[in-house]
Structures are given as C-alpha cells and as structure tokens.
C-alpha cells in the first residue's frame, strides 16, 4: 500500500494540473470501490473549482469552491495519473480508456486525471470542507511526521508508557499519521533500534533522535519519487526509485550495509507484517 512519500509524490504531481482549475467533466464508471461512492458524485464534481490539494496521512484532499472536499485513498493498487497537460510536464496524450479506469476528471486546462484501481481497495468520498477533520477516517489521526506538532518531546511522551514493540508503536496512526512498514523499518535501522524493543524501554535520547531520522527518511523518499514495489506509479506514470536505497526493507539474508558489520538482514513477523532489521546494528 502506498505510504506517505508515495501519496505526497502523487499530490505534488497532480497539483500543477488541478489547483485553481475547474473540473469540466467528471465520469464515474462504477458505483463503488472499497465502499460506495457518494450520491451524485459526478454531478457534484462537474463545474467545481479545485482550490487546493493537500495531504493528510495517506489521503489526498482536494478542497473545492462549493464547500466540499474530495477525499482520495489509493488503496493497494490505485493510481492517479495525468494526461494531456498543457503545461508540458507530461509527455503523453490522453491514453485509451482502460478496464479499471473508475473515475476520470477532465480539467478546464485540458488535463485529464484518471483514477485506475485494478484491485478496487481504493476509496473516494465527498465531505464538507469545514468539518473534514472530523471525518471517521481522519478524526483519530496523530500529527504529521513532517509537521511542527511532531517533535522530540511529543514522541518521547507518547512512547514512555507503551508496552508494545517500537515497530508497532510507530505504525499506530493515532501516534503518527502516515508512517508505514517500509519507512519505519528504514528509520529504526538508522536509529540503531531493534523493532522488537518495547517502546517504553527506549532511552529518551534515542526516542528523541528518531524524530529527525524519520523526517530524513521521508524527505529522501519523497525526493526519490517514493518506492515502487508493485503497483505504485507517480502522477506522470513513472516509477519511484527509493527502493534502490533500502538498507533493510526486503533485504532478508543480504549483508548489512554498515561498514564493518558482518551480519545479514533478518526478517521477523510482527502483528502480521514483516520487519526487516540487522541483529548486530539494531539493539
């Protein structure tokens, strides 16, 4: 599933073609994805101007001039791609319609935004902009890891009484919004913290050091266009390439990248998810 860097990469790719533009035509080709589309979705989108595109956790939010916000979740295989962009940022014209093109938005500038989702685990909803943060999917989310509310004192306080492994704590969206399995594994490696260690047993200095490390990992991934493991593509259809810089994720039995370390990367299962780590570098 796309994590924060992949969603932010898509948002940034869509922004030049959508922000400030009117949706001249909306085509909705099925009644639902993960859940039913909102009533009269195509009608409510057509003619609306996109005021801004923002991201909350792993959701893209398009605020419209009609007082509604389009919420988009990519799910496991969802893609939002741009074609026909008059700004010349995307080389290809409008492609032939595909079987899994479920929502198509034509913009006044000639751009076309296509939401394609073969597995149909993605989702879209329309919600009042002024109460968007109270939506069931958003209301319990913790602070953004790239925002000011996520700082050293916050994380130290959040981890100080938690008996769960640090890996599980960092994946808890109520603590930090948007972190996923890939980037937690990478951050813990850089911090030298074992994913097995209980959150409350981590020294305050190490917990505090996780904040800039998490930010660095996310920023590097965003700069690399995210990680393309299976279905993820950027808005122009290109692959991300941060996966070529993984230190531990997906590298089971491969040698550790740390100079002088003779250990191999191990994989364990925690709460149904794979954790990758170096048993020598991470304690």
Which of 182, 160, 151 has its CA nearest to residue 247?
A: 182
Helices 204-223 and 181-191 pack at an angle, to 10 degrees, of 130
Quote the CA–CA distance of 209 and 92 in Å, as a whole number: 44
3 state DSSP class of 166: helix
Under 8 Å between Cβ of 279 and 193: no
- For the beta sheet containing 59-64, the strands, ordered from the edge strand earlier in sequence to the opposite edge, are 50-56, 59-64, 68-73, 123-128
Q: 3-state secondary structure string, 58-86?
A: CEEEEEECCCEEEEEECCCCCEEEEECCC
Residues facing residue 53 across a β-bridge:
62
Catalytic residues: 2-3, 58, 273
Instruction: Read off the DSSP letter of residue 224.
Output: T
> 16: number of CA atoms within 13 Å, CB side?
14
Considering all CA atoms of the chain, what is the largest pairwise distance in Å, rounded to the nearest integer? Answer: 62
From the list 199, 106, 119, the residue with the least C-alpha distance to 156 is 199
Give the whole-angstrom CA distance, residue 251 versus residue 132.
Answer: 39
Per the CB < 8 A criterion, the answer to whether 211 and 152 are in contact is yes
At residue 262, what are phi and psi to the nearest 5 degrees?
A: -100, 5
């Amino acid at each position: 599933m796309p994590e924060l860097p992949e969603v932010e990469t898509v948002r940034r790719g869509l922004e030049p073609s959508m922000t400030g533009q009117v949706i001249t035509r909306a085509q909705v080709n099925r009644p639902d994805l993960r859940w039913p589309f909102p009533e009269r979705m195509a009608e409510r989108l057509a003619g609306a101007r996109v005021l801004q595109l923002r991201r909350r956790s792993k959701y893209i939010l398009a605020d419209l001039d009609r007082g509604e916000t389009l919420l988009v979740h990519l799910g496991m295989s969802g893609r939002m791609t741009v074609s026909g962009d008059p700004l010349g940022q995307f080389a290809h014209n409008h492609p032939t319609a595909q079987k899994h093109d479920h929502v198509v938005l034509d913009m006044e500038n000639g751009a076309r935004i296509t939401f394609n989702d073969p597995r149909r685990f993605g989702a879209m909803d329309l919600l009042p902009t002024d109460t968007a943060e109270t939506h069931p999917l958003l209301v319990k989310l913790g602070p953004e890891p790239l925002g000011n509310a996520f700082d050293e004192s916050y994380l130290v306080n959040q981890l100080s009484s938690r008996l769960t492994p640090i890996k599980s704590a960092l994946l808890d969206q109520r603590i930090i919004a948007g972190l996923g399995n890939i980037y937690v594994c990478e951050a813990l490696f850089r911090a030298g913290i074992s994913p097995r260690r209980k959150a409350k047993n981590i020294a305050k200095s190490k917990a505090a050091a996780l904040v800039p490390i998490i930010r660095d990992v996310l920023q590097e991934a965003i700069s690399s266009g995210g990680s393309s493991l299976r279905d993820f593509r950027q808005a122009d259809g290109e692959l991300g390439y941060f996966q070529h810089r993984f230190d531990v994720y997906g590298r089971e039995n491969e040698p550790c990248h740390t100079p002088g370390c003779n250990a191999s990367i191990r994989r364990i299962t925690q709460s149904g998810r794979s954790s990758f780590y170096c048993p020598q570098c991470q304690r």
